[in-house]
């Protein structure tokens, strides 16, 4: 492999890893918002996050099920982002 090809692969690898971490953070926040929708006494910030989560997913499923699915998807994104790379 040429040095240019190796550098390109490293850039793509780190871009993919950064995108997965961002996706995990976004899904974690959405899960937090879904669980906050179940509590009428949640603080204002969590209620705002809950409203944003409701707009994004449209309230298709119940709050608990949406939160559980989003939390599992966030965990999967973290797993994929933190996996060993095999790069030096």
Residue given tokens 């298709």 in the structure block: 60
- Model pLDDT for residues 25-64, shown as the tens digit of each residue: 999 998 998 888 888 888 888 888 888 888 877 767 888 8
pTM of the model: 0.81
The pLDDT tens digits of the residues spanning 9-21 come to 888 888 999 999 9
Pairwise CA distance, residues 33 & 81, whole Å = 23
Q: Give pLDDT, residue 57.
A: 76
């Amino acid at each position: 492999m040429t040095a240019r090809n190796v550098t390109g692969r490293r850039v793509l690898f780190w871009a993919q890893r950064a995108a997965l971490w961002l996706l995990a953070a976004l899904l974690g926040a959405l899960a937090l918002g879904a669980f906050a929708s179940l509590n009428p006494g949640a603080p204002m910030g969590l209620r705002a996050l809950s409203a944003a989560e409701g707009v994004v997913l449209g309230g298709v499923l119940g709050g608990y099920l949406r939160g559980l699915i989003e939390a599992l998807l966030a965990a999967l994104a973290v797993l994929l982002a933190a996996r060993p790379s095999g790069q030096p």
